[in-house]
Each structure stands twice: as structure tokens, then as C-alpha cells.
Amino acid sequence: MNSIVAIVGRPNVGKSTLFNRLVQRRDAIVDSVSGVTRDRHYGKSDWNGKEFSVIDTGGYSIGSDDIFEEEIRKQVTLAIEEADIIVFVVDVEEGITPMDAEVAKILRKIKKPIFVTVNKVDNAMRDANAVEFYNLGLGGYHTISSINGSGTGDLLDAIAAKMPAPEAVDLEQVELPRFAVVGRPNAGKSSFINALIGKDRNIVTNIAGTTRDSIDTKYNRFGFDFNLVDTAGIRKKSKVKEDLEFYSVMRAVRSIEYADVIILVVDATRGFEGQDQSIFWLAEKNRKGVIILINKWDLVEKETNTMRDFEAMVRKQVAPFTDIPIIFTSVLTKQRIYKAIESAVEVFERRKFKIATSKLNDVMLDVIKSYPPPAIKGKFVKIKYCMQLPTLTPQFAFFCNLPQYVREPYKRFLENKLRDLYDFCGVPITIYFRQK
């Protein structure tokens, strides 16, 4: 599984600039997910053939020094718990501040790889001044300028060297699909899993998961073996709403990367909130299969069209990726909980569905002929050929004379046609246009 790299440090040392540089460095990188919380971000990157996730723990820009220190302590504690590698950013202009010393004191007690990163080093004088940071007691340091990128390549080389090589794993476990149950606190994740496995004798074994709150349980239903990743143990670290959101989204990051299909549990009494949306987009960006469970439906007062209206509201919130199974459940009464697992199995099968190139061309070239890409600046795009790429998830390449002139609405049109013609419900599709 991918390593998680957390960027920590006090406010205004350049953490976010470094984060943006890391996640926008290569074409293969997935965009960062905005809105996870007010000022914290999650993104994906790769370097020297190793993929990893980057978490920018952010810093508050209001409040007294005491509040600052408390926030920094929380963020560093979070990074220690959830990340594999920690990048501690400091500012050469200001030297070692009391807050830097406090962070270093916490970091000295842990065994994880820590990279002291001295930012804003853009000339030889500042490079000499950086020697001061040996006094943090964390060993050597890397000098960078996150604004212009100097030094970041060397830093990434050092970080990648600390990432583990892919482990030899039990092939049986790799082949079993993983379904991760995610969602905000108190949405009913624990109850859903307990309802599924509480009195069921098909459980074979428990395998320790990615964090101490995730358990991978081998489970059988409909004659189909899979691993159910239980992420129900999101601990309430604080009553502050933003902290709560960040902790649960951080746990979801781990679980989503570890899974094939995401079962997003939503509390029907609270609606489809910002955090639910954030977790949904994490799953979509990672190209995972998704189903949405609207739980506690028994507690909602209903009229004739209540279910239809609620479903329409959810689809509007997740637009344009609206082709997903939405199932209304009550784990207390076990209403439709097995339907949820059946849907997850179906999404898993669709995610690995392959279309023969000849059949794809027979169908899609007719569609394109009937509705060709609109001309732009007098240029006509001619699509000659298409194929499904040999990737783990559905990705398609369309070969044409002028790929740069194909706009987003036409890509969306082709995606919708693929969804209409082939059942990709619950599965993200990626479309590329390439020069013929």
C-alpha cells in the first residue's frame, strides 16, 4: 500500500506551497482534493516509481500563540499516528522559534523517518544560516525553496528511499476484493458491520489492517469471498467540528487506498453533508468503486416522494458522477443491508470489466459519427480509433488528429455513452484523447 507523507510545522513556513509542488509535479498525479476541511489538503504524488499520499496538516491563521501551539501539537500528534514519513518544515528567515522547538521535542520521541526541511533557502548566505537547525536534535536537514522548487528533488529522493519496497503478500488475500465501510462519525458504520457479521458464521479470519482502527475481516456472502475493511473506530479527539472532520477524513484516506469498493454510509437524519462529499471525492479521485448507503432511513418522516427527493439531492451533490447505486437502509431492522453487499459485489465486477477493442470500435465510432466533436476555431477533430487501456480500472483512449481541441463537455458525452452502453454503475471512468 502507498506510504503517507505528512507535512507539519507552524503557520506561514511554506507547508502549503511545498504540498502544491509535490502533488502537481507529474502528469500521473491526481489533483488534490479541496474542501476536506478549511485549510488542510490531501493529494497523491509519485517519485522514482513510488506512489505516495501527501497530507498538508495546515495551520490556523487566527488566535493567540497559545491556540497556535495547541493546534500545532494536535497536527503533529495526528501526523505521528497516521503518517509513515514526516516532513517538518521550518523557515530559515526566522530561525528556530519556540514553537519549532516544541514540535521537535515531540518528534524526537518517535521512530518514524523525519525530514527537517529548511524552507526559503534561495541563496548561499541563507544556506549557511540553515546550519542552526542542527540544534533541533533531529539530525541532518534538507534546504529547499518551495516557491521556485530548488532542493525539492533531493528531498523527494531521500523520502522515496525511506519508503518500503512492495511487500510479499499472501496471494489469496490480494485476490480477495476489499470493501471499505467509511463515513462520518455516528453514521452507523459499526452497526452496519455488526449487523452483517455479528451472528454470521461465515467469518474465517481477522487480519490486522492499515491502522489500529481498521480490521480486515474475511467474509462470505452469496458464495463470494471478500475482505470487509472496518474503519468504524474513528475516535473523537476533540469536540471541535473541523478536527472531527479532519480525523475521520484522514482515516478514510487510509481505508480508501486499501480498498476496491467504498461503501459510504450517510446518516439520513443529517443529510448528505460536506464531509460525506469529501470522502466521496476521495474515493472517486482514487478510482474506486462507490456505493452510497443512506442509513437510519427508519428515523426519517416520509411522504410520497421523500426517498425520490433525497436520492435526487444526493445525485446533485455528487454531480457529474451521478451513476452510482444509492441504497436506503436501516441497520437496526437489517433493512436492505444484504442488498448493499450485493451492490458492492456488482460494482467490484463492473470495475474489472473489459471490452474487446473491435466491439468497442464498432459501437463507439458509430456514436461519434452521429455526434462528432464540435469544431473549434475552424478545426475539425476526427476520431479514428478507440481502445480500453490495460489498467485495473476502466480507462479509455480515443485517438484523433487534434486531441487538444476536444473539450470537457464532449468527454462527458462519451463517458455517458459508455455508461449507457455498458453497465459501469458505481465505477469511475477515465477518458484520454491521444494524437493518432
> What is the tens place of the pLDDT at every residue in 337-366?
888 888 988 999 898 899 999 999 999 999
Q: Is 296 annotated as a binding residue?
A: yes
Q: pLDDT tens digit string along 400-414?
A: 998 888 888 999 999
The per-residue pLDDT for 24 is 67
Q: What is the pLDDT of residue 58?
A: 61
Domain edge (last residue) among 102, 136, 162: 162
Reported as half-sphere exposure (CB side, CA atoms, 13 A), residue 194 has a value of 10
422 among the known binding-site residues? no
3-class DSSP state for residue 378? coil
How confident is the model over 308-326, as pLDDT tens digits? 999 999 999 888 888 899 9
In a domain, 173, yes or no: no
Please indicate, yes or no, whether residues 120 and 144 belong to a single structural domain of this protein: yes
Average pLDDT, the chain: 78
Is position 232 annotated in a ligand binding site?
yes
The answer to whether the annotation marks 43 as part of a ligand binding site is no
User: Is residue 172 in a domain?
Assistant: no
Place of cell 531521500: 158
Question: pTM for the complete prediction?
Answer: 0.64
187 assigned binding-site residue: yes
> Does 183 appear as a known binding residue?
yes
CATH number at residue 420: 3.30.300.20
298 belongs to an annotated ligand binding site? yes
49 appears as a binding residue in the annotation: no
Of the pLDDT bands very low, low, confident and very high (cuts 50, 70, 90), residue 417 is: very high
What is the mean predicted confidence (pLDDT) over 175-186?
A: 79
Q: Is 185 annotated as a binding residue?
A: yes
15 labeled binding residue: yes
Domain membership flag for residue 167: no
The answer to whether 394 is a known ligand-binding residue is: no
186 is in an annotated binding site: yes
Is 194 one of the annotated binding-site residues?
no
295: annotated binding-site residue? yes
For residue 151, give its domain range.
3-162
112: its cell numbers: 518514524
3-state secondary structure 68-112: HHHHHHHHHHHHHHHCCEEEEEEECCCCCCHHHHHHHHHHCCCCC
Q: 267 with 386, same domain?
A: no
The total number of structural domains in the chain stands at: 3
Q: What is the mean pLDDT of residues 105-132?
A: 89
CA atoms of 89 and 92, how far apart (whole Å): 10
In a shared domain, residues 17 and 126: yes
Give the Cα separation of 407 and 376 in Å (integer): 9
Separation CA 406–CA 381 (nearest Å): 7
Look at 22-36, 116-130, 349-363 and tell me which has the smallest mean pLDDT: 22-36
